[in-house]
Structure 1
Amino acid sequence: MRVPFVKMHGLGNDFVVLDARASAVPALDHTIAARLADRHTGIGCDQLILLEPSAIADFRMRIFNADGGEVEACGNASRAIALLHGAPARVETSGGIIALQPVSGGARVDMGVPRFDWDAIPLAYPMDTLSMPVGWEDLSAPAAVNVGNPHVIFFVADPARVDLARLGPLIERDALFPERVNVNVASVDDGRIALRVWERGAGLTRACGTGACATAVAAIRRKLVASPVTVSLPGGELVIEWDGAGPVLMTGPASESFRGSFEWGDFS
């Protein structure tokens, strides 16, 4: 069975999109997702996105990281799907319902209300999530935010000098985080944020939309920046808005790279 796909990206964070809203796609599991995501023997992507019908929203978006693990949210993929859908939509995700609005060159996404309670991150035991009394080598006192998926944010002098390729997986899989965690290192300069992200199940990516949202929220809570704030990632910039109580709004670009099809049996 040949299955069509769309290859897309948001600031270089790339996706393979399978659309099962109108025509069925065979059952997708973690093994097949990882095989499709492999950059040497598959199509290659940071995340595989499956669109399905929904009983509670316009459609459902399922997100599989490159290692095949299914996750709750992906901000860059949300903008890509807004571009693909081409109209405003409410979308069901495992992290809650989000709202998409296509704009010129990309999309504006309502990512929902961030959560800060220790058991909503989740953490293994109670602690202050605005300045956590924990550390890993030179990285210490992070903030924790759940924006559909879990993030810890370290504010540092220079994110480029942090060995995130080494520290990221150690923190991601620390016992403090029962569902693992996305690791953000950020600096603030002149009201702007510079950010690098180690993504749970995907590793270092050129951009992370939920990471930008979580980091902006943590910086606003610590009174380091004001809303709206520009977040600069290796792949480009996003604008994040948060009023301190309501939903987080993310605006930024997305692009379609190409379309193709593959034989399902080659990956199952």
Structure 2
Amino acid sequence: MSHTAHIRSHRKPRRSATTSIAVRAGVASGVLGMAAAGAASASAAEPVTQTLELPTLTADLATQVAQSADATQQAAANYTLQAERDAAAANAAKQAKADLAEAKKKKAEEARKAAAERAASRSAERTTLSASTSSSASTSTSTATGSAAAVVAFVKAQIGDAYVSGGTGPNSWDCSGLVQAAFKSVGVSLPRVSQDQSTQGTQVSLSNLQPGDILYWGSAGSAYHVAVYVGDGMFVGAQNPSSGVGEHPLSYDPPTGAVRVL
């Protein structure tokens, strides 16, 4: 046996590959741990500021924004114009209603005044006529002669007879039937109705009446009543169903005009 067989070698024993990797991994882990700790310490010490970048306003987007603003402004202008138009229409309708009411009121007032004027005119005419007929009674011939006297006598003889529409005698008469019969008694033929009788002979003034003249009410050609003037401001006629044939003063029912046939 060699004398060196029991002497230990001075060479260091080799480390296995696994041990070397483990050591390196531990070193790396320690380094990373220190780095993380340092980062955490830095984060706790100083806040991090983050900057956000806004999108750039492009030309198309600016155009769209401008168009939208114009559209909004136009819509607002349209709403304002429509509101003004609606207000104007409401005011116009209100004014038209007020004008219509005023026109109706004015028309009613004018009608009232016209009616009052007509009433006053009729009253004045009646007063004038009454005065003129009273005057004519004293100036006109009170005593009838000839055919006129016969006509007067005929109508006076019928006083008290009944009034019947369409009556022509001998005991009931209407106004024109009595006048026609009275003039027929002296040979004078007259039309049957008042309208036509009012246009016979010659028109005479109510202030110049003579016995035997035919009085009429209404206008010549459209008279609605006739009678015979008998003198002294009196007339005889078939007035209506309630009074029949009677003698009345001219003031009882002033006539409109008169005609002279005889």
The TM-score with structure 1 as length reference comes to 0.22
Greater relative contact order, per chain length (Cα 8 Å cut-off, separation 6+)? 1
Select the structure of larger CA radius of gyration. 2
In terms of fraction of residues, the more helix-rich structure is 2
**More strand by percentage:** 1
TM-score normalised over the length of structure 2 = 0.22
